[in-house]
Structure 1
Amino acid sequence: MKKLLPALLVAFAAPASAAAPRETAVLAGGCFWGLEGVFEHVRGVTDVVSGYAGGSAADATYERVSSERTGHAEAVRITFDPRQVSYRQLLTIYATVAHDPTQLNRQGPDSGPSYRSAIFPQSPAQATEARGFLGRLSASGTWKRPIVTRIEQGRFYPAEASHQDFMRRNPSHGYIVVNDRPKVEALRKRYPAFWRG
């Protein structure tokens, strides 16, 4: 990944909100195991749940989502304390460490619309912040390919228990070692002020 551009670094210079003690963010960007593993290590994040967003409750199962016909994306619901980490800071980690925002309907070895890059704002303020963030990201020129991350609407549905905390429970799993542990290490190296071991 190229070095971060000044516009994104500004996000980390700005103080986190002193508003509500707890907010949620829903982000999709490839296999939820890796997203969950990254955000579990972000200071100020109190909970991360793997799940599905963008489709109906009836189709919110791994078997149905894997058919690539439900409209769901594998996603994570992040609960965070905005006094410690802001929504914009989470978006910066999402776009520079947790996944590649230029890959359309895929991440690494996984392909299909359920692996798309999408932000599911949980409030009008988040929607405004996400639009501005993606605009700055596109204008930055940091990536050679266009940013394909979409802003979408849709409810979040938790995934099956077998998918929760998968990286923490299976640190030696081949998929985790190759695809996800490098993302966690990148978080630790690039954002030490936001690292929680």
Structure 2
Amino acid sequence: MAFTMPSLMSRLFRPFSSQPMRFNPETAAQNYPEGSQKCTLAAGCFWGVEHMYRHTFANKGLIDARVGYIGGDSKNPSYRAVCSGRTGHAEALQIIFDPSQLSYKTLLEFFYKMHDPTTSNRQGPDTGSQYRSAIFYHDEEQEKIARDVTKQVQDKWWTKGKVVTEILPAGEWWDAEDYHQRYLDVNPGGYECPSHFLRKFPPLEG
């Protein structure tokens, strides 16, 4: 797989840090309510993705949301390594949600409204495989829903371009460094990808 380097604007606006990771959602799963589920998505710069999901679904079934890295082939990747494009990881968001209040389908529909799934390895000025569009499913039911929603999205929403979103089984998740978590809440003037905004699309079936 060929990887491209992150854009100049990306490097200028997004500082590197050697701060170690301190949180692993796998080991903290017991702190989540029984019956909660995961939704793992990649849609470009994870700062804006996390910010939009948290603010849209707060008190509506979203229990937690963490930014991190998934889809690569190295252990414990750092932000610097991921931004080099050499680890194969995507910047991603892992959501813990209550399916009795918030459906997986709703989360995916929001995903396809808030970013451009037709640009390969790119969102706005951010270029590189780490910015690819992807859904990482956690079971067969999630895969089925992801493929169905994606087909409808291609047919009804993003008709002028080919949806290039990857649909893959969720592999090993690595939590991003602490300073990335809730980044835009802590740094309200921080970098936001211009591709991250809600499009107005008609409702999907089902």
> TM (normalized to structure 2)?
0.74
Q: Say if 2:56 is the partner of 1:50.
A: no
5+ unaligned residues in a row in structure 2: which ranges?
Answer: 1-33, 202-206
RMSD of aligned residue pairs (Cα, Å): 2.0
Among 38, 62, 77, the alignment partner of 2:52 is 38
What's the CA shift for 1:113? 0.5
Count of residues paired in the alignment: 164
SS where residue 132 of structure 1 aligns? Answer: helix
Partner of 1:138: 154
Conserved? CA contact 1:138–1:147, under 8 Å: yes
SS where residue 185 of structure 2 aligns? Answer: helix
Residues 95-126 of structure 1: CA deviation (Å, up to 9, x unaligned): 012x1111110001100000000000011110
Query: Is the alpha carbon distance of 1:69 and 1:140 closer, same or farther for their aligned partners in structure 2, counting shifts above 3 Å?
Result: same
Among 179, 184, 187, the alignment partner of 2:194 is 179
Conserved? CA contact 1:59–1:65, under 8 Å: no
Report runs of 4+ in structure 1 exceeding 6 Å deviation.
Answer: none
Aligned positions of 1:21-170 closer than 5 A: 21-41=35-55, 42=57, 43-58=60-75, 60-97=77-114, 99-140=115-156, 142-153=158-169, 154-170=171-187
**Percent of counterpart pairs with the same letter?**
41
> TM (normalized to structure 1)?
0.77
What's the CA shift for 1:141? 5.2
In 1, distance between residues paired with 2:109 and 2:48? 16
What's the CA shift for 1:72? 0.5
5+ unaligned residues in a row in structure 1: which ranges?
Answer: 1-19, 191-197
